[in-house]
Amino acid sequence: MRRGGVIGGFGPASPPPTNVAPARFQATVYELEIPENRISDLDAAKLESTAATPQALAAALGAFGTPKILYKVDQTVNLFGENITLGTQEPMITGTTQGNGGQVFNSITYTSMGLVARISAAVPPNNSKRGDPNVQLNFLLSVMADSGLGLSENVNATRIRSIQLSQSGTPKFGKPSVLVTVNAADPGEKSRPVAYIVRYLFTQPQP
């Protein structure tokens, strides 16, 4: 786990904040292949009502397919400014060439894949009746997928899905939130649409 850094071209981390408001932050990111005729049934509000725990949400997602957990975060953060980066360098086949003897050689490049969670907040105005800050939360996800385009026999090109989910508001301490986005399949693709679901929760930090 790294704080700050760059994943998938999402840009550098923000400068350190001047205010401090600690909170425990938990987040789980799921990937789910879903039938096209079930996309409209994947409702964030309904899923939120079943998301008391990450396991309970996974069970609810099981009605649509087999969910896969991509990332899990559990740490103390500063609501006024935190950058959490989880990532790896993954190989991508970018092309193939055939030698004189018939051997096939793959051209490979490495690219950064992973998750960036960015948390920021604004101090309420002095005349505001609300004591808690307004928190902006951004999830930036970079995922490798099969493009379905053949480079050679039994070798397909890969592509990168870039997904962004965001939400802002007063933190609902102790109550999980769910964000949903669906990456629909392109016309002519044989693969199913892929949904990305984020469950996150803020709680008071342990003394």
| Model pLDDT for residues 89-114, shown as the tens digit of each residue | 777 766 667 667 667 677 777 777 89
Report pLDDT for 28.
98
Q: Is the pTM of this model over 0.75?
A: yes
Taking all residues of the chain, what is their mean pLDDT, rounded to a whole number?
83
For the stretch 33-78, pLDDT in tens is 999 899 999 999 999 999 999 999 999 999 999 999 999 999 999 9
- How many other C-beta atoms can be found within 10 angstroms of the C-beta atom of residue 43? 11
Residues 172 and 9: beta-carbon distance below 8 Å = no
Distance CA 79, CA 102 (A): 58
Which long-range contacts link 129-135 to residues 24+ away (Cβ below 8 Å)? Answer: 130/170, 132/170, 132/171, 133/21, 133/79, 133/80, 133/170, 134/168, 134/169, 134/170, 135/79, 135/168, 135/169, 135/170, 135/171, 135/202
**Cβ contacts of residue 199 below 8 Å, gap of 6+?**
27, 28, 30, 51, 54, 57, 176, 177, 178
